[in-house]
């Protein structure tokens, strides 16, 4: 399609505006057109014309999406504006197929939906136990981002402690079911992997590559169980009453590409190709947290129309997975640290003053040579009842100082020299 001089002038201004706002971000995250091997042979004018044409195509896409979704807002001012349809699909879409069939929810327990009367009219987890919006980059690791995000949220709900866990560990190490790092993956299996414990993001930061599974960092025990799943909008809302959940959606389309706000009510019919996190609903829409960074959408979020029936808007209710909420672990911060196996509930620490094998403990300076016990030199390790003839092993009775058979202890009615008795 040949552009007129007027179109080129207008688009040139638009392109300059886009490059000023998104150029550096697009370059850093691989959101620019692929450079052909013959690029060096193209003239500067031809390269510019190609960019202008791409921008014009994106404008048309946004206008069409707007017509189909009157309650949403779409714009060419987005990070993906210079990607054509095929390039955008390669950037965001993964396949949930296994052995030639669509495979989403794994084999774990199916959630039985309680009556609708038991759920809230509106829920928004983005205000509590909500990790920041992440950016997956060119790596097709949405499945790992979504699984880690719901694991973080579930652990926070159970313990009150919001951790930042390693998405890279899941991307590199969770391979069950055919998950393959930056190529494809299955959220339910990733949740199961996370339930076994994850390293902190600071110990294993995200690299945007499949990488190698070389887990040398300390795993954090999480208060979550294995994944479970549900489907349908009733099941989705019921699950959201408890926690954020992973949803699979159809995202490789102009609606998601150009979305900037409002409520989406129509998506092109397609198979689910992306995993994201549902964090709430209000009766009219579902609030979805994506992993395309905060410069996309409404601060990294998209709203999808509720009560659409079937699989839901953009397939949002087709498959919903989430970890079971578990009990708080004894050591939520460093449970598996080799130097902290029994903390903080170890009752038999070495500072117990009456241990029979610690006669010279520094907290018992007056026990072996007590001046009022000259007749019992052979009992230095029985400071509590050294003179009672019938109770040689009663070490844990500190409040019996005036026994009639202990005439030599008149000056110690309250036993002031035994302040460290554990009882």
Residue-range domain boundaries for the chain: 85-325
* 208 phi-psi bin (left φ>0, alpha ψ -120 to 50, beta other): left
Instruction: List 165's β-bridge partners, or say none.
Output: 200
pLDDT of residue 286: 99
Question: Tens digit of pLDDT for each residue in 216-266?
Answer: 899 999 999 999 999 999 999 999 999 999 999 999 999 999 999 999 999
User: 404 or 145: whose pLDDT is higher?
Assistant: 145
**Spatial contact of 1 and 53, defined as CB atoms under 8 Å apart:** yes
pLDDT > 60? residue 418 = no
Give the pairing of strands 259-264 and 245-249.
unpaired
Confidence of residue 103 (pLDDT cuts 50, 70, 90): low
Between residues 417 and 166, the one the model is more confident about: 166
The answer to whether 292 touches 135, Cβ cutoff 8 Å, is: yes
- DSSP class of residue 316 equals T
Helical H segments across 94-223, by residue range: 142-159, 167-173, 187-195
Contacts 24+ apart (CB under 8 A), 30-34: 30/91, 30/137, 30/138, 31/79, 31/80, 31/82, 31/83, 31/91, 32/82, 32/83, 33/82, 33/83, 33/84, 33/87, 34/87
Catalytic residue among 29, 91, 139, 142: 142
Could you tell me which of 233, 171, 166, 231 has the C-alpha nearest to residue 202? 166
Question: What local confidence, expressed as pLDDT, does residue 140 receive?
Answer: 96
What residues contact 38, with CB distance under 8 A and at least 6 apart? none
Task: Please report the pLDDT score of residue 214 as a whole number.
Answer: 86
pLDDT of residue 383 exceeding 50, the answer is: no
- Tell me the residue ranges of DSSP E strands in 109-223: 123-124
Distance CA 158, CA 327 (A): 6
Greatest mean pLDDT among 274-283, 347-356, 360-369 lies in 274-283
Report the run of H or E that residue 202 belongs to, with start and end: none
Q: Among this protein's residues, is 241 annotated catalytic?
A: no
Contact 284, 360 (CB under 8 A): no
Contacts 24+ apart (CB under 8 A), 124-128: 124/279, 124/280, 124/282, 124/287, 125/153, 125/240, 125/243, 125/244, 125/279, 125/280, 126/279, 126/280, 126/287, 126/289, 126/301, 128/156
Q: How far is CA 379 from CA 9, 370, 404, in A?
A: 102, 11, 19
Span 178-187, mean pLDDT?
94
Q: How confident is the model at residue 34 (pLDDT cuts 50, 70, 90)?
A: confident
* Confidence category of residue 17, pLDDT binned at 50, 70, 90: very high
274 is catalytic: yes
pLDDT > 90 fraction of the chain, expressed in percent and rounded: 65
pLDDT number for residue 365? 46
Helix ranges (H only) for 241-283 are 254-258
Active-site entry in 29, 274, 314, 384: 274
Cα–Cα distance for residue pair 202/391, rounded to 1 Å: 57
For the segment 191-209, the average pLDDT, to the nearest whole number, is 97
Torsions phi, psi of 5, nearest 5?
Answer: -65, -35
What is the torsional sign of CA 199, 205, 208, 214? negative
Average pLDDT, the chain: 81
> Does the structure show a pLDDT above 70 at 58?
yes
Residue 355 pLDDT > 80? no
pTM for the predicted model, two decimal places? 0.75
Give me the CATH code for the 85-325 domain, please.
3.90.70.10
Q: Respond yes or no: is residue 145 known to be catalytic.
A: no
Residue 104: per-residue pLDDT: 54
- Which of these, 171, 151, 147, lies nearest to 163 by C-alpha position? 151
Would you state the pLDDT for residue 134?
A: 98
Do residues 291 and 98 touch, judged by C-beta distance below 8 A?
no
By mean pLDDT, which of 199-203, 311-315, 352-356 is the weakest? 352-356
Least confident among 38-42, 315-319, 323-327, 403-407: 403-407
The catalytically annotated residue of 105, 108, 130, 290 is 290
Predicted pLDDT of residue 180: 93
pLDDT tier at 347, thresholds 50, 70, 90: very low
pLDDT 10s digits, 168-182: 999 999 999 999 999
């Amino acid at each position: 399609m040949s552009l007129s001089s007027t179109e080129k002038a207008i688009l040139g201004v638009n392109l300059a505006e886009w490059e000023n706002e998104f150029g550096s971000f697009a370059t850093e995250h691989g959101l620019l057109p692929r450079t052909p091997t013959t690029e060096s042979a193209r003239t500067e004018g031809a390269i510019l014309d190609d960019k202008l044409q791409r921008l014009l195509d994106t404008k048309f896409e946004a206008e069409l999406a707007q017509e189909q979704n009157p309650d949403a807002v779409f714009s060419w001012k987005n990070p993906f504006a210079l990607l054509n349809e095929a390039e955008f699909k390669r950037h965001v879409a993964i396949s949930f197929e296994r052995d030639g069939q669509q495979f989403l929810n794994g084999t774990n327990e199916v959630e039985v939906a309680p009556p609708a009367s038991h759920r809230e009219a509106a829920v928004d987890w983005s205000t509590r136990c909500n990790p920041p919006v992440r950016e997956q980059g060119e790596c097709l690791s949405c499945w790992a981002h979504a699984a880690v995000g719901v694991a973080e949220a579930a652990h926070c709900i159970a313990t009150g402690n919001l951790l930042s866990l390693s998405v890279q560990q899941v991307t590199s190490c969770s391979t069950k079911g055919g998950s393959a790092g930056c190529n494809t993956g299955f959220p339910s299996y990733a949740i199961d992997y996370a339930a076994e414990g994850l390293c902190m993001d600071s110990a294993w930061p995200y690299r945007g590559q499949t990488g190698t599974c070389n887990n040398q960092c300390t795993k954090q025990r999480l208060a979550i169980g294995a994944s479970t799943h549900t489907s349908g909008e009733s099941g989705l809302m019921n699950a959201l009453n408890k926690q954020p959940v992973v949803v699979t959606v159809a995202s490789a389309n102009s609606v998601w590409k150009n979305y900037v706000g409002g409520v989406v009510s129509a998506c092109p019919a397609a198979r689910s190709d992306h995993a994201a996190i549902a964090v709430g609903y209000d009766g009219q829409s579902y609030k979805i947290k994506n992993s395309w960074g905060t410069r996309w959408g409404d601060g990294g979020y998209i709203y999808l129309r509720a009560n659409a029936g079937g699989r839901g808007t953009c397939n949002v209710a087709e498959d919903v997975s989430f970890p079971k909420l578990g009990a708080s672990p004894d050591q939520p911060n460093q449970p598996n640290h080799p130097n902290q196996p029994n903390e903080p509930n170890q009752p038999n620490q070495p500072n117990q003053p009456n241990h029979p094998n610690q006669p010279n403990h520094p907290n018992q300076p007056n026990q072996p040579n007590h001046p009022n016990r000259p007749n019992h030199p052979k009992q230095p390790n029985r400071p509590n009842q050294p003179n009672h003839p019938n109770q040689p092993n009663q070490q844990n009775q500190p409040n019996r100082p005036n026994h009639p058979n202990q005439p030599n202890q008149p000056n110690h009615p309250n036993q002031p020299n035994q302040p460290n008795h554990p009882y």
